[in-house]
Structure formats: C-alpha cells, structure tokens
Chain A
Amino acid sequence: MFETIILGLQQLNDPMVWIALIGGSILGIVLGAIPGIGPGVGIALLLPVTYAMEPLAGITLLMGLYAAGWYGGAIPAITINTPGTGVNVLTTYDGYPMAKNGEPQRALSLAYASSFVGGVFAVIVLMVAAWPIASLSRHLTSIDLGMAALLAMVLVVVAHRGSELASFALLGAGLFISTIGLETAYGSARYTFDTTWMLAGVPLIAVILGLFAIGQAFTLIFSDRQIEASDTEMKRGLLGGFVEVFKYPRTLFRSAGFGVGMGVLPGVGEFLAQFFAYTTARATSKTPEKFGKGAPEGIIASETANNAVPPAALVPLLSLGIPGESFTAMMLTVFIIHGIDPGPTLFQDNREFVAGLYMTLLAMNVVIVLLLLAGTRWIAKLSSIPDRLLGVIILCLALVGSYSTNYRLTDTIIALAFGVLGFALRRANIPMVPIILGLVLGPIMERYFRQGVGAAGGDLSVFVSRPISLAFLILIVALVALAIRNAIVGRKRGPADVSG
C-alpha cells in the first residue's frame, strides 16, 4: 500500500493532471450548483476532449466533474431550497430550514465537511478493495464475466422501480445498437444498410452527446423557469462544520458505509444511498423530531452518503471492467480509447495509472473543498442563470463536440437523433441509463459469451456448470421475475405510468 501511495504521488508531478483536476472540479461545482444541469451534461460534453488527453488526466477531468457536481449541488439545496442535482434532494430537508433559521454558513459547512469525509472514506475503500476483487476476478471465466455484465444491466433495470419494463425495452435497444456495424467473426455487416460509414458502428460519443447534452438543451431552451438568486448573506465561518461533523461519528461513518455499499452495486447509486442513510439517521437519532427542521445529522447523512458513491462506483469498473451506471460507463470509453483494459489485468499492466488515480481522487476532495470555501458566495448566484441561456450554450458546445470528433456530418445527425430521443425520454420521465449501459456493456458481454460458449464447443451447460455463473444466473432470473411481478402488481393496482 505504501508503495502504491508513493507511486501515485509521482503521477501527480504531471501538470496536465493538476489542470484536469482543478478544471474538472471547478466545472463540476458550477454545473452542480446550477439546478437542472448536473454533471452528466458536462461529462458528455467533455468526453471528446478527454480522448486526446493522457488517460489519467482524462479520467481525472471526468471524475472531477462527477464528484464536484454532488458537492456543488448542495449549495442551491441549502440556500434556495432547490437541489442542484437530483442527489441533493434530501439535503434540502434540513439544509434549507437551517439556512432559514439564520445559519446558512453552518449548513453549508456541514454539507462540505460531510461530503469530504464521505469522499475520502470511499477512496480509501477503493484503494483497499479494488485490487483484492480484481485478484479474485482473475479466477473468473469468460462466462462468469459475461454473466456479471448481464447481472449489472439487470440490476440497473430493476433499480428503476415503477418503470422496469420501459427500462428493459431501452436496455434491449441499447444492446441492439451496440451490434450495428462490422462484426469480425464472420466478417459481416450488421444493420449497416449497405453504407460504409455505419461499418464502424454507432459512435458512442455522438449517442452520449445526444442523449445527455442535446436532449437536455432542447428541454432547457423551451423552459421559462427562472430561479431567483439567493439573498442569503454569506459570512465567514465555513470551517466550523469540519469539527462539528465528528460530533456525530455514528451517523457520519454509517452514512459513508451506505454510500460505499450502494455505490459498488450497479444501478443503485446515490439515491438509495442517501435515502437509507437519512432514514437510518432519523430512526437512530436521539432527537428525530428535529429532522426536517434543520437537524445537522440530516445534512450529514445525506451529503456523506451521496459523495461516497463516485469513488465506490469505480470499484466494479476498475476490478471487473463493468460499469454500474452511466457516468462510469462514459469513463469506460476513455479506457477503451487508450487501450487500457480495466479488469483483472489493469492492476498488473497499469500500476502507475491505478496508483495515480487513487492519489488524484484524494487530492480532488481537498481541491474541491478549498474551491468551495473560497467561492461559495459567487457560486450561490449561478442558480439564477436562466434555463434558456444554458440551453443555448449547451447546444453550441454539443454541436462542436459532435462534429469535431470525426468531422463527419453523420455523427452530428446521429447525435441529433439521440438528442430527440433524449428529449422524448425526459418528457416521459423514462430513465436513459439502461440504453447507455446496453451500448457500453453489449459488446463486452457478446465477446465474453462468444469466447465462453465457443470454448465449450457450443455446449450451453457451461452457464450452469460453474458455481459463480450459476449463482449469477439464479440472481438474474430472480431479479427478472421480481421486475415482472412488480409490473403485474402495478397493473392490478391500476395502469402504470411508464415513468419512474
């Protein structure tokens, strides 16, 4: 471990890593602090840029956006009762009442300190857990890994309770789109309609830009929402929370545990983590009646849990090569572009990269907190930028991003098609994560299954002959049955809304 830390610190000598770290953190805070945007749009827009960067700098930039977005989202949640991102919803419950009671800096300070502890705790877990899991995964066969990818997708679908069937449909669509193009085993074109430009497949970057950035821009451009800027006076005193959080050690570390546990599981993520952390904190508190009225434990539970998720979400990505949600799925494309194979071999072949990533994640939490301590009073005003203006800016960025990747009009058209789909999915409140996971994990799963079944000479008993793949299969069948049961029960109660 000590050797890894030294090796990681050496990677921080690269100025590009620091530029990516600080730039990603600033952008993440800004995007997180503007309600309705969130880090997903930023990650989608910056993805093409990261392909030209060194892998560590590229991943650092995206992780900066991802982690800082959740930090920044707490600011409007506390100052104007409007969560910057979806994962800061529970922060409004106690953060805003505390601010209204004349203690906005205490609420913000508690949020920053809790986020910091959650983030650092999760990085330490990542450092401790990823390598052993990767070592164990070396004993997994192609079928086991293929089943693990399938299980991750099914978990994501089932996690969208109330819209499982729509999520299954989108997962299927994502998986199908991933098969378009030239396949190598038989040298066949699949659904290319005799065009040459489709032989390379549907460009993932265009899909991501379309779904996340263009779809969001279309929605924002037609919005008349205008949030009033906070008139809360920001005084000095944002450091007090860094002492106060440790007065609630059980809430703090239990919430961090929830964040890590939920972050590692595909499809679960920040929402359930903060929900469990918050409800458990209230259930075990000596003063549960104060929850919802400005209880410090409420802020600590919510913010610690959701900031522990991003580093924890890297555990399955680094150790198994399997992303559990859309952000890490986008990051996987950076690995693929640079020829880095996440999974069992990563820790042998790219030790410098892994060690550097650990250290940048730790440094990131420090940088984000310093930026927030210095700039909260200005960041709080960002929430008043009109949605329509944000839509114009995002659309300009998405146009350049979609065209400049390959300088092909077809890429822009594909991005637009997925932008319209993203717009329609947003209107219908149908989750977009399954389609992205299908697109990213589809080729991985197909490759593993082809290898595994091929090695067994086409014998399908290979899926049940090993305990790990059999266990995965039983879990998958149980989860699918649960999703179908939920849909039927929902139907009996009354026709379901497709939205989640």
Chain B
Amino acid sequence: MSEDKGGDTGAFDEERNGGRYLLGAMAAAAVILLALHGTQTVDGSVVSGNQDVGWWAEPGLSPFVFLIITLVASVAAFLVAKRETINWSQTAADYGRVAVLSACMIGTVFLLKIIGFALSILVFAGVVAFIAGFRGARLVGIAVAASVAMVLIFRVGFSVWFPRPELFKLIDLPFWLQGVL
C-alpha cells in the first residue's frame, strides 16, 4: 500500500480561476509604474553627455506607451470579465505552498555555495517530493534518483561549472570528485 499523501485538487479547480483579480493586479502595477515613469526613465542617467537624437528615441517613450497599453487593456478586461467567487482560504493555501517551494529554491541556491551541487539537489528534491506528498521509501528514492540524474546531466554530461562550496574546503576530496559533486 502506498504511503504517499494525495495532493489537493485546489490548483486545478476551474471554478476559482482568479483571472479577474490577476488583471486587476496588473492594472494596479501599471499605475504604480506609470507614477514612477518620471524618475525611472531619466535621459542620460547612466551615460551623460549624449546628443539629443530626437523625440522618437527618448528613453521614456516606449515604456510609457507599453504601460498605457497594459493599463487600458487590463482595466477593460477586468471590467468585462465574469465576477468570481473565490475560495480565499483555498487560494491562500495554494499560493502558500507555492511560496514555500519558492523559498526552498532560493534556499538551495545558498546551499549550493555551502554543501555543493549534488547534496543541495538531494536536499531540494527531498523537500519538494515531501511537499508533493511523497513519503517513505518513495521519497528517498525520488530524491536520490533526481540528484544522481542532475549530476549526470549537468555536471558529467554538460560539464556545467559551479562555484567551489565551503564544505569542500574542509574535506580533502579528490579533484575529479569535487568536479562531479
């Protein structure tokens, strides 16, 4: 019998799609960015002394036009969109889990510099598999298999370089093994 926990169906529930709120958020973001337009598109802010090449090349022109398109279209789409009844607690739970996964990814980038590629991926894959509902032997199997596969694909196959982790400065490992791990 499987020890795994079944995943929730929240992310696939079509009745609570949240599209209208997403468009509202886009419109709000466009307003904020338009308010910052004057300070974020200053002529010659990095390289001063450039000649005036004409209004068509003004740095603020394109972002302004594109933000106006975003604002007008998102407001219009928001207004014509169907009103939605959102299950806020379920939505918060779904996005909460996405936030946890995101935090794990950022944490793994820091971990890469400390314990190296293979061990970091082992920890990351294990945590993600746990969040996905895998338990017991399957969890361990997935973490180990993912870690081995990533090492074979990226370190052995494509020779992707990663900075030397702190751990390897403490342990005297053979050079080839450091290159793989």
Q: Using CB atoms and an 8 Å cutoff, list the residues of chain A in contact with chain B.
A: 49, 52, 163, 165-166, 168-173, 175-176, 179-180, 182-183, 185-193, 199, 218-219, 221-225, 387-389, 391-393, 395-397, 399-400, 403-404, 407, 409, 412-413, 416, 419-420, 423-425, 427-430, 438, 442, 446, 449-450, 453-454, 457-458, 487, 490-491, 494-499
Separation in Å of the B38 CB from the closest CB of chain A?
12
CB–CB A458/B154 < 8 A: no
Please, could you name 21 A-B residue pairs with CB atoms under 8 Å apart, sorted by A?
A166-B23, A173-B70, A187-B45, A187-B46, A188-B42, A190-B40, A190-B41, A193-B40, A223-B12, A388-B133, A396-B125, A409-B106, A424-B18, A428-B17, A428-B18, A429-B17, A429-B19, A454-B54, A457-B54, A498-B20, A498-B23
- Please, how many angstroms separate the alpha-carbon atoms of A191 and B101 in the complex? 28
The contact of B56 among A169, A219, A458, by CB within 8 Å, is A458
* A/B pair count, beta carbons within 8 Å: 251
CB–CB B154/A400 < 8 A: yes
CB–CB B102/A416 < 8 A: yes
CB–CB A188/B162 < 8 A: no
Interface residues of B in 12-69 (CB under 8 A from A): 12, 14, 16-20, 22-23, 26-27, 30, 33, 36, 40-48, 50, 53-60, 62-63, 66-69
Interface residues of B in 73-128 (CB under 8 A from A): 73-74, 76-77, 80-83, 94-95, 97-98, 101-102, 105-106, 108-110, 112, 121, 124-125, 128
- Please, how many angstroms separate the alpha-carbon atoms of A195 and B102 in the complex? 23
Which has the most chain A C-beta neighbours within 10 Å: B102, B106, B161?
Answer: B102
- Residues of A contacting B76 in the complex (Cβ-Cβ under 8 angstroms): 165, 487
B167: interface (CB < 8 Å): no
Known: A191-B36, A223-B7. 8 other contacts (CB 8 A): A169-B70, A176-B30, A186-B47, A187-B45, A389-B142, A453-B54, A454-B57, A498-B81
* Closest chain A residue, CB of each to CB of B10: A222
CB–CB B132/A186 < 8 A: no
B131: interface (CB < 8 Å): yes
If A166-B23, A400-B121, A430-B19 touch, whether A395 touches B11 (CB-CB below 8 Å) is no
Interface residues of chain B: helix, strand, loop or mixed (majority): helix
If A168-B73, A173-B26, A396-B128 touch, whether A412 touches B47 (CB-CB below 8 Å) is no
The contact of B73 among A169, A182, A189, A420, by CB within 8 Å, is A169
CB–CB B57/A450 < 8 A: yes
CB–CB B83/A495 < 8 A: yes
Separation in Å of the A18 CB from the closest CB of chain B?
16
B180: interface (CB < 8 Å): no
- Residues of B contacting A224 in the complex (Cβ-Cβ under 8 angstroms): 6-9
If A189-B45, A423-B98 touch, whether A179 touches B63 (CB-CB below 8 Å) is yes
* Closest chain A residue, CB of each to CB of B14: A429
- Please, how many angstroms separate the alpha-carbon atoms of A216 and B121 in the complex? 19
CB–CB B11/A223 < 8 A: yes
- Please, how many angstroms separate the alpha-carbon atoms of A188 and B69 in the complex? 22
The contact of B81 among A218, A404, A495, by CB within 8 Å, is A495
